[in-house]
Amino acid sequence: MQVESDFTKDNTPQVSNDFRQYIFILAQDIALYSESFEKKKKNLRVRCEREMVEYNTLEYNLTLFFELVEDYRKSNDQVLYRFLKLQAGFCYIDEPNFVKLQIPNAGKVNNESISSDVCRNRTSDSTSSDLQGGIVGGHLFGLD
């Protein structure tokens, strides 16, 4: 039977480069320079209307992104970094801009495979091969 899912499809909605740049600067101000997201929401709403982007969705996605940045800073968990990168996409932050945000990738790994040794984290909840970032097939649902 033919598989129906296209696991490689990029579902990121298209927006103008101006808007992308605006979001990047906003993300930089908040994630890097700890500025208030609250104070930027009014302007964000105006920009969203101009760009025909659903404001509530983007606000939710950005909030989640900033929370994940904080979570990642506390844990330096490699799989969290992968989710952070994924969430950046929902906020129109493409990979080059994500890299420019300079969120240090603590567990940088090669592209082909990750050694299970690297991420081993044995807790009371662990099995023999439990890995801190130990999801198998994450790339099948969008993780890099």
Report the interhelical angle of 55-75 vs 41-51 (nearest 10°).
130
CB of 113 to other proteins, least distance (A): 5
Among 53, 77, 85, 88, binds other proteins (CB under 8 A): 77
Applying CB under 8 A, the span of 16-24, 34-42, 91-99, 132-140 interacting with other proteins comes to 132-140
Tell which one of 3, 34, 52, 108 touches other proteins (CB under 8 A): 3
- Minimum gap (Å) between residue 29 Cβ and other proteins: 21
- Residues 12-26, buried b or exposed e (16+ Cβ, 10 A)? eeebeeebbebbbeb
Count of Cβ atoms closer than 10 Å to residue 98 Cβ: 19
Q: Name the nearest CA neighbour of 90 among 65, 107, 71.
A: 65
Indicate which single residue of 14, 34, 36, 127 sits in contact with other proteins (rule: CB under 8 A): 127
